[in-house]
Structure 1
Amino acid sequence: EIKERKAPKPCPRTTRVMEGVIAMLKEMNGISPTEELVWKGAKVRKGITTSQKFSAFTWKTLHDGQKIGRYWLDMGESTIAERGLCKQCPWEPTEPMEHIMTQCKATGQKLIWKFAKRLWRKTGLEWIMPTMGMILGIHLAEVKGSEGKKLDGRTRLLQIIISEFAYLIWLVWNEWKIEKEQDERRRHTANEIEAGWKVAITKRLRLDWVLTNKYAHGKLALRWGVVKRTW
C-alpha cells in the first residue's frame, strides 16, 4: 500500500512572513487573500507590472531562501559567519530581510524610500511607508479612491514604485556586502543612490512605452490607456 505523502510544513520564518503579507493586504484591500493566491501572484507576472527579477526575489524571500543573516550564521565557521552580520547596525546583527529593506543604515533604504515617497506624492494620494509584508505582497495590493473603488492606474504605479525601489535596495545591499566588503569608506553616496532610482524608473517608463507597440508585440502589447493612467 502506497501512503500519500504529506506536503512539508513551511518553516516558522516563512509562516511569519506570510502572515505579515496577508495582514497588510487585508488592511489595504479590505479582504484577506489566501496563501495560495499570494504564492501564485508572486510567481506569475500579471500585466507586466513587476519585473522578472523582482518576482524571483519575492518568491525566494517568501521561501526564506535568501543567503542572508542566519543562512551564514548557521554554518558555524567564524570566517563564513561574518557574512551574516551587519557591521553598520549592532542592534540588529543577524540582518533579516526586513532589516535590509526598512532599517539598515548601509543599504540606502531610508533615502530610497524618501525618493519613492516624493515620487508618489505627485499623485496627490497618501504615502504609506512600506513594510516587509507590503513589499512581498505588492503584486496583490490595491489603491482605492475615496469611494472605495480600485484605481487601476494608481495601483499599477504603486506596484512599480515599490517593486523597483525595493529591488534597488537589494542591489545596493549586495554591492555593499560583496563588492565593497562592508568598507565604511566605500558606502554608497546620496548622489549614487539618487542616480540609481532615476535610472530604474526611467527604464520602466521607457519599457511601458515600448510595450504599447502593437506591431512588435501583437496581442501582448500594453494598451495605451493603461500606460497613460499609470504615469
Structure 2
Amino acid sequence: MNKILKVNNIEKYYRNKGSLTKAVDNISFDVELGEYIGIMGASGSGKTTLLNCISTIDSITSGNIYISDQDITKMDEYELSKFRREQLGFIFQDFNLLDTLSARDNIALSLAITGESPKEIDTKIDTISEKLGVKEILNKYPYELSGGQKQRIACARAIITNPSLILADEPTGALDSKSAKMLLENLELLNEELKATILMVTHDAFTASYCKRILFIKDGKIFNELVRGNDTRKEFFDKIIKVISLLGGDNQHVF
C-alpha cells in the first residue's frame, strides 16, 4: 500500500519558566492511503501536540514527518503554507467557518485560492454537497446553520481540494449526540466512498469506534494500538473502553 503519512522518531519539547517538558516522546507510526485513524489519550497525554506537529501548526524538536513522501520538517514557512493549502484538509471542533461568507463560499474559498475556474468550483461543490446532504443550505450563512450543518460544511471544505490527508481535531466536541452521529457517518462516507485518508484526535470512545485503527497516547508515547478488523462498532467500542480504563481516561459515551 501507499504510505500517506510517515512519522519517524519525533520528539517535541516545551520550555516554560525554566522547566523543560517533553510533550511527544520518540513517536513513530505510518498511515496508509485510505486509512481512518484515531488518536486517543487523556488530557495532557500529547495527542493534540502530535496532531499540531503533523498539521504543520507546530514544529517538532527532532525526528521527521513525511506526508506524501515530502518531509514537512525541512520546509520553510512559504513551502509549509503552500503545502498546507494544497495537501491537507482540516476539520476543527469550532468549525472555523467565515461568518461573512455563505456556506458555498466557505467551501469554495480554498479552490479559489488555488486558481480553479468558477465552473470547476461549482461542479466540485455540487458533487460533494450532494454526497454530504448539504446542497439545500449552501446559500445560508454560518449564523443560520445548526452545529451539525456547520460541521458538514466543514467536512465539504476539507475534502473539496482532494487533500492527501484530512486532520480532524475533536470534530464532535461541540455537537449534540444526533449531530455528532450524522457527522461521523459523513466522515465514514468520505473515507469509504471518496477514499479520504483521515487522522482524528478524540477523547470519546463512541467517536473513535468509527475509526479503523486507534493509537493510544500516554505521557507522550504510544501506549497501545487497536485495529478494528472485522469487529462490529459495538465490539470495537468495548475494546476501546477497556484500553481507556488502563489509561485512566474519562467516562465515555455509550451506544
More strand by share: 2
Q: Work out which of the two has the higher radius of gyration on C-alpha atoms and give 1 or 2.
A: 1
More helix by share: 1
